[in-house]
């Protein structure tokens, strides 16, 4: 491909064409890309990378314990209390989640609770709108990192992306990615896919890769929609096999997790992590669920 536009068009058309071509007559009544969630097994034929693809056998309720290693156990609602954070961290240690993801104000507490456990602390930057100035996002990231976070989930500048100001979008991401690299932390870039066109999703994914972020991520969980198998596959195709892809927003079951992993996700953001891995519900323990 000689230009970025050619590459974007080729990637978008390839994902759409491959998904649609795998659906036989009568298999899918709404095969226009968004239907990928209803025929997700077909997506597996298209996603060519291998290291991030995991298959499971049996009932979705009997998920292997190592599925937890893909999950960021999340509590980002405005009503979150100190007790909620303690509960979130206890659950993360019990079930072996990859990380807890909390708002910046709770990073110190989560870091203290999880010290020595092997569970990472993630925090959010420019959340949930992404409309902060790059220097503000970088400062917010550095503060969370000083408090102990070792993963940062930042929201890109959605308005700049839609305005075609790709230089600003890349610079915005790079400032946070640089702050993360200073301490060996992980930078994830939230695209908020529900408000983007397929072309914009590809552009955003490639700008994040160019800015040296470690992951692209589907959603904040506070937008008009969450993760879809199609978006995960599109993002995976855009960034290739090495960069991480995180699916987040509206993921509540083991089956949904398996579909996201099959499509190329290497990390899952979910507030329903305990239910997903087959433990007792958060409601039974006093409630740790929240929008995400």
Residues 139-180: pLDDT tens digits? 999 999 999 999 999 999 999 999 999 999 999 999 999 999
Q: Does 17 reside within a domain? A: no
Q: Domain range for residue 115?
A: 49-285
DSSP E strands, the chain: 71-75, 99-102, 120-125, 151-155, 186-190, 215-217, 244-248, 267-270
What average pLDDT score do residues 120-144 get? 98
What average pLDDT score do residues 114-142 get? 98
Cα dihedral 34, 202, 97, 107 in deg (nearest 10):
-120
Instruction: Please confirm, yes or no, whether 284 is among the known catalytic residues.
Output: no
Q: Please report the pLDDT score of residue 191 as a whole number.
A: 98
**Which is catalytic among the residues 153, 172, 214, 231?**
153
- CB contact at 8 A, 231 and 217: no
- CB contact at 8 A, 288 and 88: yes
pLDDT grade for 5, boundaries at 50, 70 and 90: low
Q: Does 154 reside within a domain? A: yes
188-208 per-position pLDDT tens digit: 999 999 999 999 999 999 999
Q: Please report the pLDDT score of residue 283 as a whole number.
A: 38
What average pLDDT score do residues 81-110 get? 96
Instruction: Please confirm, yes or no, whether 212 is among the known catalytic residues.
Output: no
Q: Does 36 reside within a domain? A: no
Q: What percent of the chain has pLDDT over 70?
A: 73
Cis peptide before 2 (omega within 30 of 0): no
What residue has token string 């305005």? Answer: 163
- Written as six digits, the tokens of 41 are 């097994």
223-248 per-position pLDDT tens digit: 999 999 999 999 999 999 999 999 99
**Which is catalytic among the residues 42, 137, 201, 217?**
217
Q: Does 124 reside within a domain? A: yes
What average pLDDT score do residues 105-112 get? 98
Does the pLDDT value for residue 27 go beyond 50? Answer: no
Q: Please report the pLDDT score of residue 45 as a whole number.
A: 40
Does the pLDDT value for residue 68 go beyond 90? Answer: no
248-278 per-position pLDDT tens digit: 998 988 889 999 999 999 999 988 888 888 7
Cα–Cα distance between 69 and 113 in angstroms, integer? 19
User: For the chain, how many structural domains are there in total?
Assistant: 1
Q: Please report the pLDDT score of residue 139 as a whole number.
A: 98
Q: Please report the pLDDT score of residue 2 as a whole number.
A: 54
Q: Please report the pLDDT score of residue 79 as a whole number.
A: 97
- CB contact at 8 A, 283 and 252: no
Sign of torsion, CA 36 270 213 56? negative
Q: Does 32 reside within a domain? A: no
Q: Does 19 reside within a domain? A: no
Cα–Cα distance between 280 and 89 in angstroms, integer? 15
Instruction: Please confirm, yes or no, whether 153 is among the known catalytic residues.
Output: yes
**Domain at 195, CATH number:** 3.20.20.70
Q: What percent of the chain has pLDDT over 90?
A: 65
Does the pLDDT value for residue 59 go beyond 90? Answer: no
Cα–Cα distance between 273 and 257 in angstroms, integer? 10
What average pLDDT score do residues 123-143 get? 98
Q: Does 253 reside within a domain? A: yes
Q: Please report the pLDDT score of residue 30 as a whole number.
A: 41
Q: Does 73 reside within a domain? A: yes
């Amino acid at each position: 491909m000689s230009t970025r536009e050619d590459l974007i068009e080729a990637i978008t058309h390839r994902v759409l064409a491959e998904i649609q071509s795998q659906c036989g007559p009568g298999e899918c009544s709404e095969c226009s890309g968004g239907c990928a969630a209803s025929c997700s097994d077909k997506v597996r034929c298209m996603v060519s990378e291998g290291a991030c693809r995991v298959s499971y056998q049996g009932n979705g309720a009997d998920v292997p314990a190592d599925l937890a290693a893909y999950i960021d156990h999340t509590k980002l609602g405005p009503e979150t209390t100190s007790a909620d954070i303690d509960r979130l961290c206890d659950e993360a240690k019990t079930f072996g989640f990859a990380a807890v993801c909390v708002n910046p104000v709770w990073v110190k507490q989560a870091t203290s609770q999880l010290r020595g456990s092997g569970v990472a602390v993630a925090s959010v930057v420019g959340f949930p709108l992404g409309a902060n100035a790059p220097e503000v996002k970088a400062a917010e990231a550095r503060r969370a990192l000083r408090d102990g976070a070792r993963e940062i989930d930042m929201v890109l500048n959605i308005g700049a992306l839609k305005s075609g100001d790709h230089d600003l979008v890349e610079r915005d991401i790079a400032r946070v990615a640089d702050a993360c690299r200073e301490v060996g932390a992980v930078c994830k870039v939230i695209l908020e896919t529900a408000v983007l066109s397929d072309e914009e999703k590809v552009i955003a994914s490639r700008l994040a890769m160019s800015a040296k972020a470690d992951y692209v991520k589907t959603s904040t969980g506070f937008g008009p929609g969450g993760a879809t198998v199609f978006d995960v596959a599109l993002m995976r195709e855009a960034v290739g096999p090495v960069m991480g892809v995180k699916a987040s927003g509206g993921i509540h079951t083991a089956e949904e997790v398996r579909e996201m992993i099959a499509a190329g996700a290497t990390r899952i953001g979910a507030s329903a992590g305990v239910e997903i891995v087959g433990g007792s519900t958060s409601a039974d323990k006093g409630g740790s669920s929240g929008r995400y």
